Chain A
Amino acid sequence: MQVVILDYGAGNVRSVQFALERLGIDSVLSNDSETILSADRIIFPGQGEAESAMKKLRQYGLDRLLPELKQPLLGICLGMQLMFDASEEGDTKGLGIIPGQVKRFTQGKIPQVGWNTIEELQGPLFQNIPELSYMYLVHSYYAPLVTETSATSTYGIRYTVAIQKDNFFGVQFHPEKSSKAGQQLLENFIYLDV
Chain B
Amino acid sequence: MLCKRIIPCLDIKDGRTVKGVNFVNLRDAGDPVLLAKQYAEAGADELVFLDISATEQNRKTLVDLVEKVAQTIDIPFTVGGGISSLEDVHVLLQHGADKVSINSAAVKQPHLIDDLANQFGSQCIVVAIDAKQFDGQWLVHLVGGKVPTELDLFDWAKEVASRGAGEILFTSMDHDGTKNGFANAALKQLSQSMEIPIIASGGAGTISHFTDAFIHGKSDAALAASVFHFGEITIPNLKLELQKNNIPVRL
- Footprint of B on A, CB under 8 Å? 12, 14-15, 18-19, 21-22, 47-49, 108-117, 134, 136, 138-140, 154-155, 174, 176-180, 182-183
Contact = CB atoms under 8 A, between A and B. Distances in A.
Contacts of B240: none
B2 A114 contact: yes
B74 interface: yes
B8 interface: no
B74 A47 contact: no
B197 A113 contact: yes
Interface residues of B, number: 33
- Among A18, A117, A180, the most chain B Cβ lie within 10 Å of the Cβ of A18
A155 B47 CA distance: 23
B220 A109 contact: yes
B143 to A, nearest CB: 27
B98 A15 contact: yes
A114 B98 contact: no
Given A109-B195, A183-B74, A47 B2 contact: no
B96 A18 contact: yes
Residue with the highest number of chain A CB atoms closer than 10 Å, among B2, B3, B40, B76: B2
Interface string B191-221: 0001111000000000000000000000011
The CB with the most chain B CB atoms within 10 A, among A12, A110, A116, A182, is that of A12
Interface stretch (B25-33, B115-123, B128-136): B115-123
B124 A113 contact: no
B122 A111 contact: yes
The 6 closest A-B pairs by CB, nearest first: A48-B121, A138-B123, A14-B96, A115-B250, A134-B250, A115-B3
A159 to B, nearest CB: 12
Given A111-B196, A154-B1, A47 B95 contact: no
Interface string B78-121: 00000000000000011110100000000000000000001011
Contact of B120 (A47, A110, A116): A47
B75 interface: yes
A115 B70 CA distance: 18
B76 A136 contact: yes
Given A19-B74, A113-B221, A179-B40, 6 more contacts: A47-B120, A48-B121, A109-B196, A134-B3, A177-B75, A182-B74
B121 to A, nearest CB: 3
B2 A155 contact: yes
16 contacts: A12-B96, A12-B124, A18-B96, A21-B71, A47-B120, A48-B123, A49-B118, A110-B196, A113-B5, A113-B197, A113-B220, A114-B3, A115-B3, A155-B2, A177-B74, A183-B74
B123 A139 contact: yes
A112 B74 contact: no
Given A18-B71, A109-B220, A138-B123, A115 B5 contact: yes
